[in-house]
Amino acid sequence: MALMDDDLSHALTSVGPRLRALRQQRETTLSDLSQATGISISTLSRLESGQRRPNLELLLPLARAHRVALDDLIGAPTTGDPRVHLRPINRNGITILPLTQRPGGLQAYKVVIPATKRPQQPRLQTHQGYEWIYVLNGQLRLVLGEQDLVLSPGEAAEFDTRTPHWCGGCGGEPVEFLALFDTQGERAHVRAKSRDS
């Protein structure tokens, strides 16, 4: 019985440093996290420093905000099951399947963009990081700064995400691609043809 109490105590004391590491890896402030979870800044700070004992009511919104499993927050032992349990995210009709489950570092996604009958107006965005894209099916339009590219199945592109960029489907069929993202990535190989060619 004492051994189980020791294990529980160790698991609970390791939650704080794990929460702080997650937040810092994602470059999120306590204020941002407070807005996302509804948990006060002082409570978040005490959780991270170990001055507040974590409970389910606090851990569930934090797991959602960090997009990690509750088991990852509390350091539950792995079950030995190597399968990735996909939880799709739907944004504006686009399905994003996270393929990696650990926080920070390189993140992998499968993205599915549904078929569209009319051309989409690109809405360029910028953010920190580096991205690699590999097209599995369909035609992917990638607007990257002044370049307007079309990638076909088997083609890949890489770019610094501080360059204004946007991607969407073209050709009237669904597009599926793999995306690898890292805040500090290494370069991969690029192969894409210009939309004008």
Q: Tell me, what CATH number does 183's domain have?
A: 2.60.120.10
Of all helices (H) and strands (E), which one includes residue 149?
strand 147-151
Check if the beta carbon of residue 157 is closer than 8 Å to that of residue 132.
yes
Give the pLDDT score at 172.
82
Give the pLDDT score at 102.
66
Give the pLDDT score at 143.
94
**Domain boundary pick from 18, 42, 74:** 74
Residues of the chain with pLDDT under 70: 1-12, 75-86, 101-104, 183-197
Q: Tell me, what CATH number does 42's domain have?
A: 1.10.260.40
Give the pLDDT score at 104.
64
**Domain boundary pick from 11, 46, 74:** 74
Residue 162 sits in which domain range? 89-194
Give the pLDDT score at 132.
92
